[in-house]
Amino acid sequence: MKVKMAYSEKVKQRFMHPTHRGTVKDADSHVTVQSEICGDEIEISFNVKEGKISKCMFESLGCAISVATCDVICELAEGKTINEAEKLTKQDIITGVGDLPTVKIHCGDLSAKGLREAIKQYKAKHM
């Protein structure tokens, strides 16, 4: 049986033209996490200035949804305090990319986990 997945225009746009792809130089936090479901691997890095995430970037060795959801989580995190960013959820990410195929919801989980792990690392070093 062949499964056909239709991606939203937001997913396609973020996959083709991510605005937060890359690595933050001299990052205050930089983590790598991997999906236990599909093997996708992402890196999240960010800097904090004046108590807020000033720049957040990602790298992804994964599918279009993985790239799109990472791009959204980085965009959502920028300008937020560490505590505000820590409260971002998979649902915030899904809202940012439009509907996701059920079999790809774990990609939103992975992006949120990546940010949470980066925040955890930041707190251990700086708070």
Does residue 19 lie in a domain region? Answer: yes
Is 2 part of any domain?
Answer: no
- Looking at the domain assignment, is residue 91 inside a domain? yes
Q: Is residue 26 part of a domain?
A: yes
Cα Rg, the chain, nearest whole Å: 14
**Residues facing residue 46 across a β-bridge:** 29, 56
Which CATH number goes with the domain that contains 59? 3.90.1010.10
In a domain, 99, yes or no: yes
Q: Is residue 85 included in any domain, yes or no?
A: yes
In a domain, 3, yes or no: no
Alpha helices in 1-127 (DSSP H): 9-16, 64-77, 82-86, 90-97, 105-126
Number of domains in the chain: 1
Cβ-based neighbours of 111, under 8 Å, separated by 6 or more: 42, 58, 66, 69, 70, 72, 73, 90, 93
Q: Tell me the pTM.
A: 0.90
Per the domain annotation, does 5 fall within a domain?
no
What pLDDT is recorded for position 3?
47
Domain, as residue range, for 61? 11-126
* Segments of the chain with pLDDT less than 50: 1-4
